[in-house]
Amino acid sequence: MSKKLDYPVADIRHYLEPGPVVLVTSRWQDETDVMTLGWHTVMEFTPSLVGCIIASSNHSFELIRSSRECVINIPTVEMIDTVVDIGNCSGAEVDKFSRFGLTTSAASKVSAPLIDDCFVNLECKLYDDCLIDTYNYFIFEVVKAHAAAGPKHPQTVHYTGDGEFMAAGKHLSRRGRFVTQNL
Amino acid sequence: MSKKLDYPVADIRHYLEPGPVVLVTSRWQDETDVMTLGWHTVMEFTPSLVGCIIASSNHSFELIRSSRECVINIPTVEMIDTVVDIGNCSGAEVDKFSRFGLTTSAASKVSAPLIDDCFVNLECKLYDDCLIDTYNYFIFEVVKAHAAAGPKHPQTVHYTGDGEFMAAGKHLSRRGRFVTQNL
């Protein structure tokens, strides 16, 4: 994986729209946590909005609600066992960073850490909390994005439930069929 | 593709959580339309909720807002050119069903049609309209689901922007690593 560079926040659909499983890091006061998350969608280009369901049973829920921040980290298929294991224990009982040997770097606009082994890190601030109580739905603004310059198509992993995943396959261009303003 | 069977609405994350591009059909009064959509997320198992961003510039927007219904149809990679072409013309100008030779069947709980060539059809009713005005965000309840019994893993297509797509790759099981209640 190449060194990470700043990435335009208005373009993060490139990484999120295909629907990968992500690792969400959070920090509040003296606690730091990480969770696995699969229920998210891009909502807007500018501001760069992402909606995520974070069940209130997750230890991360209160850290994110209180700090109003998080980082969305995108792993590749090489990390699949870690992704599963992170989702199958609770930050209330273990320090997942230590248990899974996750190395992190400081974010620049939020207090939650960036996971180094993930090829994309999206620093997020809570933009709208109106649906947290009713649906556990958090609307975040991506305020800074980091992405590895290469490889061009890191192989993401997509959850289908029941302990099964789909790994990203081949990439296909259909640019020639698009009306320019729809690209 | 095998004959479609009823599928449990609480399990539709199996098809939507991996993040495929979908075709959304709608009907209001004497108009029927179909649009390509990539910004969606599962929100809840029961009721079976799905959130979708439908930009107000789409001809389908008013049909869906007025009828408070739609069908989410999931295509496979064989339909990629049709998926692109549907997203690059407007139902205000053309009858997309006729132009693209889409054959349809009647849904059982909504008036919008099911696209026969899509291996999954999810009949949806608008569940909550509170974020339509602010974000073009529709929260639907899946009230009936149809899925082809086979193949086991139809190859979905995932949009990454700029006219480029990722086709679903191989499937990997990690059931053995999961805590049972997290499956």
Listed by start position, the domains of chain B span: 4-182
Output the pLDDT for position A131. Answer: 98
CB contact under 8 A, B135 and A171: no
Cα of A87 to nearest chain B Cα, Å: 8
E-state strands within chain A = 4-7, 22-28, 31-37, 40-44, 49-53, 69-74, 104-105, 114-115, 120-128, 137-148, 157-159, 164-173
Q: Is the ipTM of this complex over 0.85?
A: yes
Region B127-135 average pLDDT: 98
Q: Using CA coordinates, name the residue in chain A closest to B18.
A: A158
B51 chain-A contacts, CB cut-off 8 A: 41, 51, 137
B164 chain-A contacts, CB cut-off 8 A: 171-175
Output the pLDDT for position A103. Answer: 97
Per residue in A78-107, pLDDT tens? 999 999 999 999 999 999 999 999 999 999
> Does position A41 have pLDDT exceeding 90, yes or no?
yes
Residue-by-residue DSSP string for B130-146: TTHHHH-EEEEEEEEEE
Q: Using CA coordinates, name the residue in chain B closest to A173.
A: B164
CB nearest to B174's CB, from A13, A155, A163: A163
Tokens of B2: 């095998």
- In angstroms, rounded to a whole number, what is the distance separating the alpha carbons of residues A34 and A50? 18
Region B21-33 average pLDDT: 98
Fold of domain A4-182:
Pnp Oxidase; Chain A (2.30.110)
* Cβ pairs A/B, distance under 8 A: 190
Structure confidence at residue B181 as a pLDDT band (50, 70, 90): confident
Interface of A with B in 133-162 (CB under 8 A): 135, 137, 139, 153, 155-162
B135 chain-A contacts, CB cut-off 8 A: 43-44, 49, 139
Structure confidence at residue B1 as a pLDDT band (50, 70, 90): confident
Structure confidence at residue B21 as a pLDDT band (50, 70, 90): very high
- Segments in A30-174 forming alpha helices (H): 59-67, 80-87, 96-99, 132-135
Cα of B139 to nearest chain A Cα, Å: 10
